[in-house]
Copies of this chain bind each other. A is one copy, B any other.
Amino acid sequence: DPLARATAELATGLFSVSQARRKPKIPKGTRDFAPEQMAIREKAFATIHGVFKRHGAVAIDTPVFELKETLTGKYGEESKLIYDLADQGGEICSLRYDLTVPFARYVAMNGVGSIKRYHIARVYRRDNPAMNRGRFREFYQCDLDIAGSYGLMIPDSEILKILTEVLDALDVGRYAVKINHRRLLDAILEIAGVPAAKFRPICSAIDKLDKEPWEAVRAEMVEEKGLAPAVADAIGTFVCLKGEPRALLARLQHEGRFAAHAGGRAALDEMATLFSYLDAFRCLDKFSFDLSLARGLDYYTGVIYEAVFTETDQVGSIAAGGRYDDLVGMFNPSAKQIPAVGVSIGIERIFTIMEQKAKAAGQVRENETEVYVAQIGAGLLEERMRIAAELWAAGVKAEFMYAAEPKLQKQLAAALEGGVPLVVIVGEDELKQGLVKLKDLNARTEEPVPRAEVAQAALKALGRAPK
């Protein structure tokens, strides 16, 4: 049928034209990083790297996707946000949702007995994105975890020390680290009279206290989750408590209801030990003991924490973590447990703050070029290339204009715009005398240097030792 074929061809043609002409897009909830953003991001990563290495951590890396079964049953209600790969034959895989579960899988699979590792990588969540508030579907996490059987609260306290060092080094403003203990929360719920089956839903209600007032959370407990009003009020007397760690600890230790509860007493003893260690590390002043901190994830078993900004009106945590002693065992064929504790720093909000600061402070250099190799007159492209090659060989960062006969004015403008401090100017007359000009754009000086020593002269002008 020639008519049908012609129609089909026309439709295909129109389709491919509309394809070609459509403005290109990236997936919802993701973003590109432009050069000036990358310059800031690389600086932040270098800072975090530096702190992690100062504490003797080692790096590992895992694939961006895992077998789907690896992620199944680890995230509770949040599992619905996992990105699956299409079934194209072979294994069923999902993009990693965090770095903790792949870490536990790594430890179990490789029979690792103990490790202090960091991992800086992207994770994926099919969440409702809120780009301007720093919530993306693809975002970086900077994780440090310590796995192994160690003295009570010792690795926990170093993790928290590391967290404060990272936030201090990034210099992003005032923050506080809220801290609590999962078993203390369990004790509160038990003492208040919450039935065991309701622990999880009530915990997730408590977790909303950083965004909602107690009245709203109480209403959720009573109306939605069917808690007796007196039980909710009993919870309320505890979870509104927060403050300086040792002061609140002393108050709770003298509180009769905890003294009579073995689990609660044990959790308070662990907190006392932790606070001593944080004091020895000289960072206890950054912490707030906060009985309302609950953390959504299923796998925590001990101390839990969350860092928040205190001087901006930005909502949400910048880092969080806790102890999870049972997660590695879920992957171990022998069910052998490897206790672990870790922290995950969500760097996206920190990038946003650093970007705002950099913009306020003026130009961010996108590259680090030190010398621009320019020519005056004609026929000197290959001479510029030879000089650039000599500079590169000496370890000097150098560029030149990609044109056969560029105007000097244009070359100087390019150097100034890029913030390049030095310009080498090649001209036919000077070359005949074996010279080139070395121009310092900051000092506004210019001096002739021997053509044969151009790299050494540049290094000297940059205040760097010759290679």
Binding site for B on A (CB under 8 A): 19-28, 30-35, 38-39, 41-42, 53-67, 69-70, 73, 83-88, 90-91, 93, 95, 105-106, 108-110, 115, 117, 122, 124, 126, 138, 146, 148, 150-151, 154-155, 157-158, 161, 165, 276-277, 280-283, 330-331, 333, 335, 366-369, 381-383, 385-386, 388-389, 392, 395-399, 402-404, 418
B382 x A277 contact (CB < 8 A): yes
Contacts A109-B24, A402-B155 known; A61 to B33 CB distance under 8 Å? yes
B30 x A65 contact (CB < 8 A): yes
CA distance A96 to B145 in the complex (A): 30
Number of copies: 2
CA distance A398 to B281 in the complex (A): 13
Point out the residues of chain B lying under 8 angstroms from A331, CB to CB: 24
B93 x A88 contact (CB < 8 A): no
Point out the residues of chain B lying under 8 angstroms from A67, CB to CB: 25-27
Point out the residues of chain B lying under 8 angstroms from A20, CB to CB: 330, 335
Point out the residues of chain B lying under 8 angstroms from A65, CB to CB: 27, 30, 138
A87 x B90 contact (CB < 8 A): no
CA distance A83 to B450 in the complex (A): 57
A58 x B26 contact (CB < 8 A): no
Q: List 14 A-B contacts (CB under 8 A).
A: A26-B62, A27-B66, A34-B60, A38-B58, A53-B367, A56-B368, A83-B86, A146-B402, A148-B402, A150-B403, A154-B381, A161-B389, A281-B388, A281-B389
- Give, as a whole number of angstroms, the nearest-CB distance from A279 to chain B: 8
A397 x B54 contact (CB < 8 A): yes
CA distance A357 to B392 in the complex (A): 27
B88 x A126 contact (CB < 8 A): yes
Contacts A23-B109, A91-B27, A402-B150 known; A38 to B59 CB distance under 8 Å? yes
- With both beta carbons as reference points, the residue of chain B lying nearest to A334 in the complex is identified as B21
- With both beta carbons as reference points, the residue of chain B lying nearest to A282 in the complex is identified as B389
- Give, as a whole number of angstroms, the nearest-CB distance from A292 to chain B: 29
A392 x B54 contact (CB < 8 A): yes
Contacts A32-B61, A389-B282, A403-B154 known; A367 to B56 CB distance under 8 Å? yes
A58 x B366 contact (CB < 8 A): yes
